[in-house]
Amino acid sequence: MKKIDEYQGKKVLVMGFGISGINAAHLLVKLGANVTANDKATPKNNDIVEDLEADGIKVITGNNPISLANEGFDVVVKNPGIPYDNPLVAAFVKQGTPIITEAELGWQIFDGHLVSVTGSNGKTTTTTLTQLMIAENAKHQVKYAGNIGISFSKIAEDLEPDDTLVTELSSFQLLGAPTIRPHIAIITNIFSNHLDYHKTRENYINAKLNITRNQTKDDFLVINWDRDEWQKIAQRSQATIVPFSRLNKSHEGAYVEDGMIYWRGQEVMPTKDIRLIGPQNVENALAAIAAAKLSGVTNDAIKKVLTTFSGVRHRLQYVMEYQERLFYNDSKSTDIEATEVALQGFDRPVILLAGGLDRGYTFERLVPYFKKHVKAMIVFGECKDKMRDAGNQAGVPVIESENAITAVPEAWKLSEPGDVILLSPANASWDQFPSFEVRGDKFIEAVEDLTGKKEQ
């Protein structure tokens, strides 16, 4: 951990009691700050409040009182999910109070080798693969943290200058990380996500580009080269560009040609040997390979990881096989693009479980994928009617169920040996579940109840 004094004697407000917020509050106390912690909800577990107060932190719960904007805070550390049009946040913006996220705080104290991953899809898988690959050859600690569910600043506290940290960073986190500078940054792809938060696609792209904003030619930006738009986005970085391409559009970094993965002309391994299924996971592997090779990792280490790693929970996760049906949990597919790539990963008939929060868009884009891959659909949630319309356009049988849990036995009734039963909702979970993780866990529990087996 790097010793810094910029928070010594400063008055800091931490907004949000998530894992990152609680860790940030305790860290700021160690850094000499006078800390107030605020959450609009009242925690069900009073131990959280007692723990904060025991560290000398003033705690305010139950709302975000606008009066806090008048208390002279020097810095606000905001939970990434709190939007900037929140009245209290907006008041701080208006008066010019610096607002950062815990990722920025983690960066400020980090004193090692930083690799950071962002993108619309594939962040967690790419982060995990990268960490595993680098760790295979490392003589020092290699950890991961960030949006993957582990506090950046908490892990950064325990690392030394020779250690490596691979961080998954969301657009929400990056928007409040103005000085972050990873030595290796990865952009897996950029689609049109979270426009309810960022308001415009350009705002969303700008937030993503914070990952490379402070890089120089001595740093590296690993970026997907398979779309012209992403190639143009790369031109906005001062870093050394390292492309990766599944569609053989560049030979300057990691790429696929005739079923073989190459790194700058050198064979690495056949794509068919990657244990993870689907074209999106070939892209995730290419991104991780590029970062690993830039970090000095051997091909043997890369192959060991890619032939054994079976996936991240909720991200096209293989659950089990039962009576010749394969169950997959892809609850993390909270947008259309993610479900597109999930469906492309299967050459068996798919019983698709889909639906969720209605964000106002329709699903015509999925119709060709439904026609090619989907045998039947179970729809649920706020957008079930729109999802049904797309299924009808594709000529796919569609039935309605209450949610992703009740859909499991319905899918089983429609299935035959050789089928895939896939939860890939194409929508956020918040209409029925607090998170995609909970939705995926409940789906797995329903599969276990149906089969009498535990997930594999």
Q: Which residue has the tokens 């995730």?
A: 284
Q: How many Cα atoms occupy the beta-carbon half-sphere of 115 within 13 Å? A: 29
* 81 annotated binding-site participant: no
Separation CA 189–CA 4 (nearest Å): 34
Separation CA 353–CA 383 (nearest Å): 13
Q: Which residue has the tokens 């506290």?
A: 157
* 121 annotated binding-site participant: yes
Residue 435 token pair:
């998170």
- Which residue from 267, 268, 241, 236 is spatially nearest to 252, judged by alpha carbons? 241
Helices marked H in 314-400 — which ranges?
336-344, 367-373, 384-394
Neighbour order of strands in the sheet with 220-224: 142-146, 164-168, 113-118, 184-187, 220-224, 240-245, 254-257, 260-263, 266-270
Specify which residues 243 forms β-bridges with: 223
Separation CA 223–CA 293 (nearest Å): 14
Cα separation of the two ends of the chain: 38
Dihedral class, residue 23 (left if φ above 0, else alpha if ψ from -120 to 50, else beta): alpha
Dihedral class, residue 293 (left if φ above 0, else alpha if ψ from -120 to 50, else beta): alpha
Residue 185 token pair:
């940054």
* 192 annotated binding-site participant: no
DSSP strands (E only) in 48-147 = 58-61, 75-78, 99-100, 113-118, 142-146
- Do residues 370 and 402 lie in contact, with contact meaning Cβ atoms separated by under 8 Å? no
* 122 annotated binding-site participant: yes
Separation CA 174–CA 400 (nearest Å): 38
* 125 annotated binding-site participant: yes
* 9 annotated binding-site participant: no
Q: Give the residue ranges of the annotated binding site for ATP.
A: 119-125
Q: Give the residue ranges of the annotated binding site.
A: 119-125
